[in-house]
A and B are shown apart, each in its own frame.
Chain A
Amino acid sequence: MRLLTHNMLSSNIKGVTNGFPLALEVTKLVTKPVDFNPDFLKNMLLKVEWKALVEASRAMGYAELPEQTEPSMVESEEFLRKFHHALLELHLEEGSLVCPQTGRKFPVCKGIPNMLLHEDEV
Chain B
Amino acid sequence: MSSRPEIQAPPEIFYNDDEARKYTSSSRIIEIQAKLSERALELLALPEDGVPRLLLDIGCGSGLSGETLTESGHQWVGLDISQSMLDVAVEREVEGDLILGDMGQGLALRPGVVDGAISISAVQWLCNADKSSHDPRKRLKAFFESLYRSLSRGARAVLQVYPENVAQRELILSFAMRAGFAGGIVVDYPHSSKSRKEYLVLTCGPPSLSSATPQGIGEDADCSNDESSEDEENQAVCVSDRHRPRKKQKLNKKTKGRQWVLKKKEQMRKKGNAVPPDSRYTARKRKDHF
Contacts and interface: CB of A to CB of B under 8 A. Distances in A.
Interface of A: 1-2, 4-5, 7-12, 19-20, 37, 39-40, 43-44, 47, 49, 88, 110-117, 119, 122
Contact of B81 (A4, A7, A116): A116
B65 to A, nearest CB: 17
A116 B75 contact: no
Name the 7 nearest CB pairs between A and B, nearest first: A115-B101, A5-B97, A40-B52, A12-B108, A39-B51, A114-B100, A8-B113
A9 B54 contact: no
Nearest to B53: A43
B50 to A, nearest CB: 7
B108 A115 contact: yes
B184 interface: no
B100 A47 contact: no
Given A49-B110, A110-B90, A8 B77 contact: yes
- Residue among B51, B86, B99, B133 having the largest count of chain A Cβ atoms under 10 Å: B99
A111 B83 CA distance: 12
A11 B51 CA distance: 29
Interface residues of B, number: 33
Given A10-B110, A12-B146, A117 B90 contact: no
Interface of B: 50-54, 75, 77, 81, 83, 86-87, 90, 97-102, 105-110, 112-114, 131, 133, 142, 146, 150, 152
Given A110-B90, A115-B108, 4 more contacts: A8-B150, A10-B109, A112-B98, A115-B100
Nearest to A88: B75
A2 B105 CA distance: 23
Contact of B51 (A4, A40, A115, A119): A40
SS class of chain B's interface: helix, strand, loop or mixed?
mixed
11 contacts: A12-B146, A20-B110, A40-B51, A40-B52, A43-B51, A111-B90, A111-B97, A115-B99, A115-B108, A116-B105, A119-B133
Contacts of B51: 39-40, 43
B100 A9 contact: no
Nearest to B86: A112
A4 B110 contact: no
Contacts of A117: 102, 105
Contacts of A10: 108-110
A91 to B, nearest CB: 9
B75 A4 contact: yes
A38 B182 CA distance: 33
A39 B50 contact: yes
Contacts of B101: 114-116
A9 B87 contact: no
B53 to A, nearest CB: 7
A106 B152 CA distance: 26
Nearest to B150: A8
A20 B111 CA distance: 11
